Amino acid sequence: MRVLRIFLRLQLTQLRAAVQYRGDFWIGIVGAVLTQASALVFLVSYFSQVELLGGWTAWEVLILGGIAVTGHSLTELFADGMWTLRAAVSDGSFDRVLVRPLSPALQQTASLASIHGLGGLGSGLAMLIAGLVNSSAATSWWSVPVIVLAVLCGGVLSVCLGLIGNSIVFWEPAAQSAVPMVVMSMRDLARFPLNVYNAGIRVVLTYVLPYALVTYVPTSAVLHKPGSHGWWALSPVIAAAAGFGFAALVWRTGIRRYEGAGH
């Protein structure tokens, strides 16, 4: 609880500081909303020509997108600091993180709170509400708890995979790397039904970068899709736990390799 209080205090301080610059604040929010609006334009254009995508309606696909966007926006809003790790290692400022009496991983993830996550959060919630109200998911009393669980676990998974991708700096101390962006860009594939992809992508999204376990799998259970099972509703917990465990392993291994700037 002490660590959680410190984390929340750090993030709320950063968010209050961001609000002081009103121009940047509104630009960040509007930019995030427009980004999600462009994705909605694509969906509207697609479903104006066809009724189903892999057996999913437009409203059902909107639920997938809402879970992905909302979970990632929580990460941006509260734990976006892993994206500053490469710069911190390169300029030596990461050394300060290691000598403070607090978890280095917690300090690093809490080192940045991106205000544009607030715009994404609002957009994601709007997508979720619209999708749930206009689909068969609303017929089950447990639909909302499962979706909330998927969003929260999706946020945890996003943090973990972001930390894993950026921890490559401990092995590849170059100024830039494409690995973190490749890891995070796979998230966008989870905004669509898993069955529209080939076997290779399905394996990656299910077992390697398990974004599908927090979007497609629980939503299939909520919508009672053919072949789905009730226990699929717990798949987000499995994904978040696995992501957390592997992130902790990669982080600790990377920290042991770290010798300071220039090494």
Q: Is residue 263 part of a domain?
A: no
53 pairs with which residues across the strands?
Answer: 56
Q: Is residue 223 part of a domain?
A: yes
pLDDT-wise least confident of 30-34, 123-127, 229-233: 30-34
- 13-63 confidence digits (pLDDT tens): 777 777 777 777 677 778 777 777 877 888 888 888 888 898 899 999 999
CB-based burial label for 55 (10 Å; 0-12, 13-18, 19+): exposed
Distances (CA, A) of 253 to 7, 148, 166, 258: 23, 33, 13, 9
- Give the Cα separation of 66 and 201 in Å (integer): 21
Q: Is residue 15 part of a domain?
A: yes
- Give the Cα separation of 56 and 62 in Å (integer): 10
Q: Is residue 121 part of a domain?
A: yes
| Average pLDDT estimate for 112-120 | 81
Number of domains in the chain: 1
- 138-197 confidence digits (pLDDT tens): 667 788 899 999 999 999 999 999 999 999 888 877 667 778 888 888 888 999 999 999
Domain containing 197: what range? 2-257
